[in-house]
Amino acid sequence: MSPDLLLIDDSVTDLRLLTNMATAHDLRVSIAFDGESGYCQAVLQQPGLILLDVRMPGLDGFATCRKLKADPATRAIPVIFLTAANDLDERLVGFAVGAVDYIGKPFHEEEVLARIGVHLRAGRGADDVPPHEEVPTRGTPHQAVLVRAAKEILGARIGDPPSVSDLAALLGSNRRQINEAFQACCGQPTFGWLREERLRRAHHLVCDTDTSISMIGEHLGYSTPANFTRAFHERFGFSPRDLRRDLWVARQRDTQVEP
């Protein structure tokens, strides 16, 4: 059975911490201590998600990610970088080589689990990324089914979602049960998950399409471009326009240095 997570890090302490977090929530974990063995394990094991340290001896995180994205067998596996740095240039290079997100060190368990939940089993290759078919790590089987059905409705109406009351009515449930199910399965309220899903899709559209920033914001349900830019900046640390511009620069620089 393929692991949910492949952790690639040369720090035994960080690997132990991340493994304990993941296994406590019933996630299957595989570990590698360097980029080359991590790449080989990814090819063989086909994990649902890779958490990859940026700074490792030998094959560093960027080089490892390039190999993963160049191999048809592993290019669709989402990669989240682990880093102690808050350097914007470093993060932009990471996105340019194919990462979907960053997790900062030292780790905060709720953030780690929330980001893993967003990206685990990510949709692959769609122009507009659909909601994830996540495997809930907590909650009852009934709650897991309720959350999965709710995500399908919210994802299909991402720009104009129903209220929690209307969502509950569509699912033959009630507000309390819906909110409790999301809290149990996702570790966040219903509209906390929706907010993160909107921004995940926004990041994909900004990075991987030529769609105008204003159209992306409108499509995802933001009332004005300013509101979209503000939410994006609060989540990622830079505006969507700056990210698109700087990613282009980073990709050009990356192309020039590669043989």
Of residues 229 and 39, more confidently modeled: 229
Q: Are 151 and 193 in contact (CB under 8 A)?
A: yes
Tell me: pLDDT of 9 over 90: yes
Tell me: pLDDT of 130 over 50: no
Q: Where in the chain are the domains?
A: 5-119, 127-259
The DSSP bridge partners found for residue 53 are 82
Query: Pick from 121, 113, 168: which is nearest to 146 by CA?
Result: 168
pLDDT-derived band at 1 (thresholds 50, 70, 90) equals low
The pLDDT assigned to 257 comes to 58
Using CB atoms within 10 Å of the CB of residue 252, give its burial: 0 to 12 exposed, 13 to 18 middle, 19+ buried. Answer: exposed
For the range 121-130, what are the long-range contacts, defined as Cβ-Cβ under 8 Å and sequence gap of 24 or more?
A: 121/48, 121/49, 122/49, 122/78, 124/76, 125/76, 127/209, 128/201, 128/204, 128/205, 128/219, 129/200, 129/201, 129/204, 130/155
pLDDT in tens, 58-93: 888 888 888 888 788 888 899 999 887 667 777 788
Of residues 153 and 7, more confidently modeled: 7
**Widest Cα–Cα separation across the chain:** 59
The verdict on whether omega for the bond into residue 162 sits within 30 degrees of 0, i.e. cis, is no
Model's pTM, two decimal places?
A: 0.54
pLDDT in tens, 178-202: 999 999 988 889 999 999 999 988 9
- Domain 127-259 classified CATH 1.20.140.10? no
Q: What superfamily in CATH does domain 5-119 come from?
A: Response regulator (3.40.50.2300)
